[in-house]
Copies of this chain bind each other. A is one copy, B any other.
Amino acid sequence: MTTYNNPANQQLTPTQRTKIKRVPKRANYETKTIYNILDEALICHVGFTANNQPFVIPTAYGRVDDKLYIHGSPASRMLRNLNQGIEVCVTVTLLDGLVLARSAFHHSMNYRSVVIFGTATLVNDTEEKNEALRAFTEHVMPQRWQEVRQPNKQELQGTMVLSLPLTEASAKVRTGNPVDDETDYNLRIWAGVLPLQMIPGKAIADERLIEGIEVPEYVKNYSKTTSS
Contact = CB atoms under 8 A, between A and B. Distances in A.
Interface in A54-69: 54-58, 60
A227 B140 CA distance: 27
A151 B103 contact: yes
Contacts of A188: 210, 213
Contacts of A47: 45, 47, 54-56, 89
Interface of A: 17, 21-22, 42-43, 45-49, 52-58, 60, 73-74, 76-77, 87-91, 93, 95, 97-98, 100-105, 107, 109, 111, 113, 115, 117, 133-134, 136-137, 140-141, 144-145, 147-151, 155, 159, 177-178, 184-210, 213-216, 219, 222, 224
A197 B201 contact: yes
Nearest to A193: B204
A100 to B, nearest CB: 6
A194 to B, nearest CB: 5
Given A100-B144, A149-B104, A209 B191 contact: yes
A194 B203 contact: yes
A87 B53 CA distance: 7
Contact of A219 (B73, B76, B100): B100
A224 B97 CA distance: 12
